[in-house]
Amino acid sequence: MAEFKPAGSMYEWFDQRLGIDKFVKVMMTEYWIPKNINFLWAMGVLLTVMFTLLVVSGIFLLMYYKPDINMAFDSVNYTIMQEVAYGWLFRHIHAVGASVVFLIIYIHMFTGIYYGSYKKGREMIWISGMLLFMLFSAEGFSGYMLPWGQMSYWAAYVITEIFGGIPLIGGDLVVWIRGNFYVADATLTRFFMLHVLLIPLAILGAIVFHFYSLRFPHVNNEAGEFFDFDEEAEKYLAGDKKNSKVVPFWPVFLSKDFFVLGFFLLFFFYLVFFHYSFAMDPINFDKADGLKTPAHIYPEWYFLWSYEVLRGWFFEIAGISGKSLGLIAFGFANAIFLVMPWLDRSPMVKPANQRPYFKYWFWLMIADLMVLTEFGKLPPTGPNAWVGFGASLTFLVLFIALPFITKAEAKKVGGK
């Protein structure tokens, strides 16, 4: 063991044992962030804060929630909402938070796509980010089921039924996942476990990994410029703060994040106090009934686009049933973003508006996602079904075309 001198102060005593000085340097005061990044780069900090809010409000809900099909509905809608002082507050923070966290994830994701932050050396950041997106989806879905309302029940029914589409083992797999032949008590209790323990643990691990993977290629910037972080950091430390292209995370950069966070939290609590109902479907205030399907089932807004891709295929093509086509397209839609770094074959790291072809692709993709989201909520009949089919097909075509578009772009730019 190293030799310890008597400490002159409490701070020194801890510093000798835990290396606080060094830790603060590595994590905060000498963690370098580029100067030219805009408010869209604050989404990571927003998400960290949102996750914390969800964990804390979740802990308070956990004290009164009962994971039992006979008690779950009342424990939420009566005990937490009526009896527990401020129970409504924690429920609304949790419900609105679950919805808003997806809004921020999408902004975070599309910022990454717009500025090419998934490319050249940043692949692991992108992949760990998409892993987080999938974990958050599983977390959101498993939590949605817990209040045991009609929409919760049928969402769970339909989503678990999707696994039935897997060849050979599908039918048995569905029963295994549910722990019964239908969505029952066993399903509720295991989803409860997933929602409050296993998935949050996995999310925490993935967040740590996401931050870690960021340390090597460093944060991208608005211009997509590559520079030597060590050199710029030296300039900063030598006092040439003006010419250095970087600032320390703490306190300089975070002050900007806090500014964005301040605005965000005003918006968030405005929703929590005055517009919480957007995160609560009226159908979910009917208790779950396994023998009565609501006339029209749809997921929360953040899953509508992939839901529409799933149901957009309503007829047979080349002998493959609409159901199978939908499942294949759904699988494709959920996995394709993961391989973005390899679909984009242009080496250019530039914001989309400076890329001759990619800019059209990007905005088309956003527009298509909006159409899918809009029509995902409408009943899939008549012309709606055709719009849904068209938008689902467009989604697939866009991603299949991406490697060719970006290859052509690389050629064009290279020839300049």
Partner 1 sequence: MMMDESRRGFIGKAFGAVAAVGGVASLIAMKKTWDPLPSVMSAGFTTVDVSGLEANKLEIAVWRGKPIFILKYTEDMKPTDGRSVKVGDHYYSVMVGLCTHLGCIPGYENDRKMFKCACHGGEYSADGRQTFGPPPRPLDIPPFKIDGVTLVLGEEGPEYKAMMAKAGGA
By the rule CB under 8 A, 324 interacts with partner 1: yes
Region near partner 1 per CB under 8 A, out of 1-9, 102-110, 315-323, 394-402: 315-323
Cα–Cα distances in Å, from 218 out to 77, 123, 225, 261?
A: 46, 12, 12, 22
53-61, Cβ contacts within 8 angstroms, sequence gap of 24 or more: 53/93, 53/97, 54/93, 54/94, 54/97, 54/98, 54/101, 55/200, 57/90, 57/91, 57/93, 57/94, 57/97, 58/94, 58/196, 60/87, 60/90, 61/87, 61/90, 61/91, 61/94
By the rule CB under 8 A, 153 interacts with partner 1: no
Cα–Cα distances in Å, from 362 out to 3, 164, 365, 368?
A: 59, 34, 5, 10
By the rule CB under 8 A, 297 interacts with partner 1: yes
The residue among 198 and 364 lying less far from partner 1, judged by its C-beta, is 198
Among 154, 253, 303, 395, indicate the residue that binds partner 1 (CB under 8 A).
154
By the rule CB under 8 A, 66 interacts with partner 1: no
Work out the end-to-end distance of the chain between its first and last CA atoms, rounded to an integer number of angstroms. 62
Site for partner 1 in 380-409 (CB under 8 A): 380-381, 385
> Which is nearest to 42 in space by CA: 351, 290, 253?
253
Region near partner 1 per CB under 8 A, out of 64-72, 121-129, 182-190, 263-271: 182-190
Min dist CB 298 to partner 1, Å, is 9
By the rule CB under 8 A, 70 interacts with partner 1: no
Among 79, 124, 134, 179, indicate the residue that binds partner 1 (CB under 8 A).
179
Tokens representing 69 are 């099909």
Burial class (CB in 10 A: 0-12, 13-18, 19+), 16: middle
By the rule CB under 8 A, 291 interacts with partner 1: yes
Min dist CB 312 to partner 1, Å, is 9
The residue among 137 and 324 lying less far from partner 1, judged by its C-beta, is 324
300 phi and psi angles, rounded to 5 deg: -65, 160
By the rule CB under 8 A, 317 interacts with partner 1: no
Min dist CB 393 to partner 1, Å, is 15
Residues that bind partner 1 (CB under 8 A): 154, 157-158, 161-162, 164, 175-182, 184, 186, 190, 290-293, 295-297, 311, 313-315, 321-324, 326, 379-381, 385
